[in-house]
Structure 1
């Protein structure tokens, strides 16, 4: 069943926080994995889910930093994961599967932004490799646990930055075209949306639904690769479109997609401000509200899926 890409409306909005989304809802017995769940939006996502009773596994690239950030939180398990290293992804997933637990919520929250041109060991551009391919492989490896939940949700953190670029299937990894860090970031964020669309189409029969999310503009460690001047310019530009959000507000749409009964029986949609977003008008190049048509095209989602399986060497087992 295809979910319409249009607001419900949900009754929530841009200023809603993650805990307000949950209200008095309890998640006792539920298991969640939140990549990057120890900083910024991810940390607020972890806090909201564990406060409602869920057990949250937080795989981190820097465990010492994560341990300090997560101190005092109940039902939070710290793990190691480097999304840019395929062997690390496989090792983490194997450890989780060995626990025999179902996975009710997978929130693919971690990412990098506007980095200089770097390549992983396979030669892939780092933003695409980390933001999309790393989470593609992680989700594939965790597929048995998602199916075991008998009702799971996968949330992929995208961005309004997807407006910067669709996926260039002819030169995805900037082997011929000049590298532009914002085009590369936008391409990776479009890939996150297309992945959610493709995953939902394949997962619905197994009661695994997928969503993509624009959390809003929030000042977090994601800007660590940018200069102070670039950060100031980005904040000024973001504020012209919509007021900046707090991390608590930024986590709201992720938590809503992962838990809300309003989305029962739905999936494959891009969400922002705690609701399903509109498809952006074709002639709108300024508002950056909603989702670009190139990011919600099922044919492009299938094309990306096939390429991602080839790039990673990982296939989803039905």
Structure 2
């Protein structure tokens, strides 16, 4: 671990918003890519970066939807990309590299949660492919610009959902085992955290640091595959159909959900740090075991450098992509 996985008393907390976290920070001249920047907390992440003067690139599978979602945030550079299409990722990265010499922040924010079994064109399970492998490939393709920023940060959106599963290195794509959408989701979120551990270890020598983030529980399009019974059991929506907001119990607004991402991407307290899992605008403590029932903290399997290295090698093999 390149940075101690322990709180640093950031001065922010569960109820902090992206606007509060970025107040007083000037991002003029900085270039940022935010995947999924046209939905849910992604919109609020883009809004915060643009308010600080950054140039923000947002790849979108649905350009029409993206234009509508970002209509009140001027100056966002939209272009097509599909995380389940390797050729689309390569083409998008090429276009970004043609428009900027240096990329200062990459936020791998997009994701899907607990859909029915689906596979990409390579046969890879969709959550592992979109949430992890697609972002792994995008990061590798954008590496030259990240390196040239001389201080870039990469943020991987993980989740408390990493508690549901580690990485099954023998069958990550559910070819031999029965598919469980929540186990697959948990595996992909553990992968996001381990990706940050491995990337930080590789990148710090060239000034690129990485963090993983649990944004909190936010009612967005991400819940579209949940049944009504699952939504009721999660107690995230009240009887009137309104989201329940209780930040200290992991139930946040999109503005609060974007705060930890923005904090990890911009806060000077994190200079020289990386490879850690963060939540509530703070570095999270490590829980006592992978079986812990505590709601705050990160399981050891999501911070294990050996597992991170193993996942990195597997990701290179599955995508045919590597950092040069």
Fold match (TM-score > 0.5): yes
Distance in 2 between residues matched to 1:56 and 1:98, nearest whole Å = 15
CA offsets, 1:82-121, max 9 Å, x none? 0000000000001111124310000000000011111111
Residue matched to 2:60: 60
Is 1:251 the counterpart of 2:258? The answer is: yes
Equivalents in 2 of 1:240, 1:284: separation in Å? 24
2:96 corresponds in structure 1 to 96
Instruction: Tell me what 1:272 maps to.
Output: 279
1:189 matched residue in structure 2: 189
Alignment pair present for 1:222 and 2:229: no
Q: Is the 8 A contact 2:290 2:300 kept in 1?
A: no
Counterpart in the other structure of 2:314: 307
Select the residue among 265, 284, 292 that pairs with 1:285. Answer: 292
- Mapping of residues 110-149 of structure 1, within 5 Å: 110-149=110-149
Deviation at 1:241, TM superposition (A): 8.2
Q: Give the whole-Å Cα distance in 2 for the aligned partners of 1:197 and 1:11.
A: 24
Distance in 2 of aligned mates of 1:208 and 1:247: 27
Larger mean CA deviation between 93-102 and 55-64 belongs to 93-102
Q: 1:261 aligns with which of 268, 272, 275?
A: 268
1:46 corresponds to: 46
Deviations 1:52-108 (A, max 9, x none): 101111111111010011113233111111000000000000111112431000000
Question: Could you tell me how far 1:141 is from its partner in structure 2?
Answer: 0.2
1:18 and 2:25 equivalent? no
Taking the aligned partners of 1:18 and 1:150, their CA distance within structure 2 comes to: 24
Distance 1:279 1:71 in 2: 40
* Residues 1:234 and 2:234 aligned together: yes
Separation of aligned partners in 2, 1:273 and 1:167: 25
TM-score (norm 1): 0.96
| Counterparts of 1:119 and 1:199, CA distance in 2 | 26
User: Which residue number corresponds to residue 29 of structure 1?
Assistant: 29
Consecutive unaligned residues in structure 2, runs of 5 or more: 238-243
Contact 2:34 2:106 in 1 (8 A): yes
State how far apart, in whole Å, the 2-side matches of 1:12 and 1:266 are: 18
Instruction: Tell me the distance in 2 between the aligned counterparts of 1:267 and 1:276.
Output: 10
Partner of residue 85, structure 1: 85
Contact conserved, 1:163 with 1:288, CA < 8 A, in 2?
Answer: no
Separation in structure 2 between the aligned mates of residue 92 and residue 236 of structure 1, nearest angstrom = 35
Distance in 1 (CA, whole Å) between partners of 2:177 and 2:171 is 7
Structure 1 CA distance, aligned partners of 2:7 and 2:247?
Answer: 23
After TM superposition, the structure 1 stretch with the greater mean CA deviation from structure 2, 113-122 or 1-10, is: 1-10
Deviation track 1:155-191 (CA, whole Å, cap 9, x = no partner) reads 0000000000000111111111111110000000000
Q: 1:241 to 1:229 in 2, by over 3 A?
A: farther
TM-score, length basis structure 2: 0.95
| Aligned partner of residue 89 in structure 1, secondary structure | helix
Report Cα offsets for 1:36-55 as digits up to 9, x if no partner: 00111000000000011011
Q: CA deviation at 1:230?
A: 2.1
Deviations 1:117-137 (A, max 9, x none): 111111111000000000000
Secondary structure, aligned partner of 1:219: coil
